[in-house]
Structure 1
Amino acid sequence: MKIAITGSIATDHLMTFRGRFAESLVVEQLDKISLSFLAEDLEIRRGGVAANISFGMANLGLRPVLVGAVGEDFADYRSWLERHGVDCESIHVSETKHTARFVCTNDDDQAQIATFYAGAMGEAREIELAPIATRVGGLDHVLIGANDPEAMRRHTAECRSRKIPFIADPSQQLAFANGAFIRDLIEGADWLFTNEYEAHLTEQKTGWSGEEILQKVGTRVVTKGKDGAVLLRQGQDPIEVPALTVTAVEATGVGDAFRAGFLSGLAWGLEPQLCAEVGSTLAAYVIETVGPQEYHFTADHFLTRLEDTYGAVAATAVRPFLIPS
């Protein structure tokens, strides 16, 4: 099964200020604010929802097609993804803008001052899916993740017109989108991914009830953090999938890893519940690691964790698809 992953590709520049931003703010002078903070450390992490999902799928032995827009500064990041098995041939490279970048400083209170530079991501709207499908011999699914809004709209419309099954994963863009835009993104999707908060936000902004959304999409997959995930399908009982027991370190990219595992299971032809169990297992590695693409595992270790939580039947079903250690 060939799956294209569309969405953001970015780098995160994370700094730490040993102090409190609040101590440098003068309420009466906020209209003239001019501040500089001495950061004690800097971490540069590879990120972006589409890149994170593609990285996870590649680590499970698949070769996802990554679709997004980057700048000419993407060379090292591209090399990293390709070494891990991601197909990067359909990435658009801007001639004028840098790869999207998130620059954030945290203080000792975990307050943040951050800026997101969209940069080349704005050119993702220029990407057409048809040539990509031709290059790889057809697409079985397209995941439409958080991205330039017009790119999300275009990819969704093209999937509908070309009858390519699509997976709606609007995530961060839900906060900024209006109801009409969200309705346009999700109607007709085979799968709709959100977290618990985003699920409520989707209903609020679209004006559709949970049951009405199930009439518009095939399956809703709602992640609930430490409480696992639930699969919702019209006329069927919810399927609850518990999360693994973990020692949480940092949560960035955990939802992307869940999607990567779920889509890998889908590509292997597994039942939805088992897809979610694979997704939860992969997500455990991310939350135990600093950075969304810094984890690693062996097939044996992955299968052991899967079996410990979900049983021998789950591990037996997944074992044939994992690259031996």
Structure 2
Amino acid sequence: MRIAITGSIATDHLMAFPGRFAEQLMPDQLAAVSLSFLVDDLEVRRGGVAANIALGLARLGLAPVLVGAVGPDFGEYGSWLRGEGVDTASVRVSSTRQTARFMCTTDLDRNQIASFYAGAMAEAREIELSPTAARLGGLDLVLVSPNDPTAMVRHTEECRALGRPFAADPGQQIARIDGADLLRLVDGAWVLFTNEYEAALLCKHTDRTHDELLESVGTWITTLGAEGIRIERAGEEPVTVPAVPVTDPVEPTGLGDSFRAGFLAGTSWGLDMTRSSQLGCAMAALTLRHVGPQGDKLDTDALLDSIRETYGEQAADELAAHLGGAR
């Protein structure tokens, strides 16, 4: 299956605050917040939503195509991704701007405060999908994940023009995109991905109810943190897939990206959405056990053990049959 992953490619600066943000926020002073958090640790890691998802797919044995914009500092990162099995031939390299930066501080409750510098990502609006489709002999699916807002709308419209199915993952950019463009992003999506807060924000910005938005997409998948995920289709009862428990969580950056990689891999193998979501939850649990969204090589034994313990022997056996190419 030829899957193009469009979105951000970035370097992550991940910091740990040995306290709780909530204890530092004064409700009567929120209109004039001025805070500085002294952090204990700084980890600089490879990241970006699209790159994280593409890497996860590659480690599960697929050959994803990464589509985004980077700076001239991308050389080593790009070489590493290609070595991991990610196709980077459709990545645009800016001559003037550096690769995007994600700066995130996590507290003891795994709450996060983050900033994102777009840098070269702003040039993603110049990328066309048709050359990528021509190079590969077509695309079976395009994931439109957080990116330059103009690029996101353009990619979605191109998918419609090319007659290609797309998955909508507006994520952090919901707050930056007006309601009309948000509707252009999600209407007709094969799958819409959000977390609970993003779902509420999407309804607010589009001035549509949850049910109205659900009617406009094929499937809506909402991540629920430690409660797992919810799968919704118009006219059907929602299905909840529990999360894989993690007793020793380390750092939560990239959990949603890992879930998406597992889910997309499962559906590309022809598995139903419940089984694909179980794989996604297991991938997210592995990510939660280390710092940064990309981690080390995929530990398929640990992955299958967690699936077996949470979802049963049949789930593990069914997924194991597809993991022979995992790396």
TM-score (norm: length of structure 1): 0.89
The answer for the alignment partner of 1:52 in structure 2 is 52
The equivalences for 1:1-325 within 5 A come to 1-15=1-15, 41-103=41-103, 115-247=115-247, 248-323=249-324
SS in 1 for 2:152: helix
Deviation at 1:296, TM superposition (A): 3.5
Greater CA radius of gyration, 1 or 2? 1
The superposition leaves residues 2-46 of structure 1 with CA deviations (integer Å, 9 ceiling, x where unpaired) of 1100000000124568999999xxxxxxx9x9x999976532111
Closer, same or farther in 2 for the Cα pair 1:3/1:54, shift >3 Å?
Answer: same
The answer for the alignment partner of 1:28 in structure 2 is none
Deviation at 1:128, TM superposition (A): 0.5
Deviation at 1:324, TM superposition (A): 6.4
Deviation at 1:147, TM superposition (A): 0.3
SS in 2 for 1:42: strand
Closer, same or farther in 2 for the Cα pair 1:107/1:128, shift >3 Å?
Answer: same
For 2:308 and 2:239, locate their aligned partners in 1 and report how far apart those are by CA, in whole Å.
18
The answer for the alignment partner of 1:27 in structure 2 is none
The superposition leaves residues 262-306 of structure 1 with CA deviations (integer Å, 9 ceiling, x where unpaired) of 000011111011110110010000111111001443323322221
- Seq. identity, %: 55
Whether the 8 Å CA contact 1:285–1:295 is kept in 2: the answer is no
For 2:141 and 2:170, locate their aligned partners in 1 and report how far apart those are by CA, in whole Å.
16
Whether the 8 Å CA contact 1:299–1:323 is kept in 2: the answer is no
Closer, same or farther in 2 for the Cα pair 1:285/1:108, shift >3 Å?
Answer: closer
SS in 1 for 2:139: coil
Deviation at 1:210, TM superposition (A): 1.8
Give unpaired runs (5+ residues) of structure 1.
24-30
Deviation at 1:104, TM superposition (A): 5.1
Whether the 8 Å CA contact 1:106–1:113 is kept in 2: the answer is yes
Closer, same or farther in 2 for the Cα pair 1:106/1:299, shift >3 Å?
Answer: closer
The number of residues matched between the two structures is: 316
TM-score (norm: length of structure 2): 0.88
For 1:214 and 1:230, locate their aligned partners in 2 and report how far apart those are by CA, in whole Å.
13
For 1:246 and 1:312, locate their aligned partners in 2 and report how far apart those are by CA, in whole Å.
19
Deviation at 1:204, TM superposition (A): 1.7
The superposition leaves residues 26-82 of structure 1 with CA deviations (integer Å, 9 ceiling, x where unpaired) of xxxxx9x9x999976532111110011111111111111010000110011112211
Give unpaired runs (5+ residues) of structure 2.
25-31
